[in-house]
Amino acid sequence: MGDKRYRELKDYKAAGTNAGKVSIVGAGPGDPELITVKALRRLEEADLLLYDRLVNRKLLDYAKPEAVKIYCGKAPGRHTLPQEQIQALMVQHALSGKHVVRLKGGDPLVFGRGGEEALAMAKAGISYEIIPGITSALGAAASGAIPLTHRGISASCAFVTGSRCGSGQRQVRWDLLAGAVDTLVIYMGVGELAALCGEMLRSGKAPDTPAAIIERGTTAKQRILTGRLDQLDKLAVSMQAENPALIVIGEVVRVRSELLELEARMMEQTSSA
């Protein structure tokens, strides 16, 4: 939707329309109990709910019965609605006096295009707010017992998109990240895992660096695969790893192994007592 259309909508508002407002809301990483209290209140208030693919459907039950719900899910290569059309719907219904809630998985400003939607509302002169959510990296890593920072092991962490590896878009500087950041968390990278691992190995990351794939983090279907960086792509293929998934690379993955060993030892001692 171009700037001209935004100006037209803004003029429409100025002409006397009783404009509503837009709430751009993070739903959290999958477990519906991880949504914030503030986000839940906005769901209850919504007149129109535009929700994404990774939003837990149980959260939709908190909307009032008369609220209109529109699915806007995006999968690789398959977009239910183009981003421009989603923003046009937000503008259109807000200008008609509705409270529009744009519900997004994780946090709306971490690979969620929430910034684009906020800019669209600002250009149209619409009142908006951004309500943060627990992003997938934090939720999935915690539920998988992998600390993203850990004293003596990791003092830095970077969230990176894996969807651009090998594409014509602006590339991630793996040559800089590989040596500068202790823990890397890669979103949307399972389909490009061989290329990602190759980039990091060529950039100097040690082949035996611990790595993990967390599928469907925080949900009942969560699965965690761990291995070495140089073998991670083969592990993913053999175990049929698939999205939604996060990749964690760094020494912090060893903490999970240590915790599991301690837990197993405790259970063994309890059963033999």
Indicate if 188 belongs to the active site: yes
- Three state DSSP letters for 25-50: EECECCCHHHCCHHHHHHHHHCCEEE
- Tell the residue number behind the tokens 């693919």, with chain if given: 53
Name the catalytic one among 98, 104, 107, 188: 188
Beta strands 245-249; 183-187: pairing state: antiparallel
Q: How far apart are the C-alpha atoms of 228 and 207, rounded to whole Å? A: 7
Which entry of 13, 21, 38, 74 is annotated as an active-site residue?
74
Strand partners, 28: 106
Catalytic residue among 47, 52, 107, 233: 52
**Closest C-alpha to 233, from 272, 265, 186, 271:** 186
Omega before 244 cis (within 30°)?
Answer: yes
| Tokens 């959260």, located at residue | 59
d(CA 210, CA 253): 6
267 annotated active-site = no
Quick check: is 98 catalytic? no
The dihedral over CA atoms of 60, 71, 25, 75, expressed in degrees to the nearest 10, equals 120
Residues classed as catalytic: 52, 74, 188
